[in-house]
Structure 1
Amino acid sequence: MKQFAMLGLALLAQSAMAADVKVENIWMRATVPGQQVAGAYMDITSPENARLIGAQSPAAGNMEIHLMRMNHGVMEMREVKTLALPKGKTVKLAPGGFHLMLFDLKQPFKTGEAVPIKLTIETANKKREIVEVTAQVRDPSGQMMH
C-alpha cells in the first residue's frame, strides 16, 4: 500500500512540474475539405531551461516543429528537431516563424472547433514531460469568430 502512495505522489509531482510550463494563445486556422496540412500556433513559457522536442494530435497523422523564414528573398520552411525554451522567456509560435505543422489531417477543422495537442517538453536534466493543450480553430484570417 505504501508503494502505491509513493507512486501516487511521484505522479502528482510529475504532473505539477508539467503544469509549470505555461502554454497560452493556442490556435490554428480553419481548413478546407481535402487540405492535408495545417499550422498550430501558441506562446510557451518554461520556468526552467527546456526544449520542445515533439508534438502529437489525434487529429493528424504526424506533427513536426517547423521554422518559416525569408532566405535571400525566398520564403522557406523547414523542420527543426527541437525548439529551445529559455528559462522565463515566452517563445512565440506564430505564422511566419516557428510553428507546429500537422500532416495527414483526419478531417477538416471548422471555426470554433477544438483540437487536442500533446507537447513533449524535455528539461535541462533530460526529464521528459507531456503538456496537453487544446488549439481553438479560427476562421482562415486567423480571427476568432463570435
Structure 2
Amino acid sequence: MIARFLATRKQMETKRIDKVFGREFFNSNFGLYWRTMFAFEESHSALEMNLYVHRFIHHIGALPDFSTLKFTKYNQYVSLVLPLCKWLLEQGVNFRYGLEVIEIMCGRKQATAIRWLENGTAGNLILLAPTILFS
C-alpha cells in the first residue's frame, strides 16, 4: 500500500487496480471497505484510486467502524441528486439526454466549449470565450 501511495502519477496512469494490487488486497477488510465506499472495480484506473487514497488518507483509521462517514437521511439520489437537479433547473440549466459528448475544450481551470452528437447531428456550445493573460 505504501509503494502505491508513493507512486507518481506517471507510474499509475496506464494501470488497472488489479495490476497494482494482489489478491491479498482484494480479500482484505481494507480492500472491501475501500471498494465499497468508492465503488471501485478491479478493472478501474489505479491512478484514480491512488488519487482517492491521497484525498481520503486521513479517514483510513476510522474505516472499521465508519465513524467518519457521513450518511444522508434518504438514499443519495433522493437526498442529493433530486435537490441539485431542481436547483439547477431553477437556475435555467437545460438538461439534454441522449447526447454523445465528443469533446470538452478547457481553459486553464474551466470548460470553455462542448462538442456533441445528437441523433447523428453535430452540435456545440461555447461556454466561455478564451482569455489571454498578459503579465
Q: Same fold by TM (over 0.5)? A: no
Larger Rg: 2
Give the TM-score of the pair, scaled to structure 1.
0.20
Give 1 or 2: higher strand fraction: 1
Give the TM-score of the pair, scaled to structure 2.
0.21
Higher relative contact order (CA 8 A, sep 6+): 1
Give 1 or 2: higher helix fraction: 2
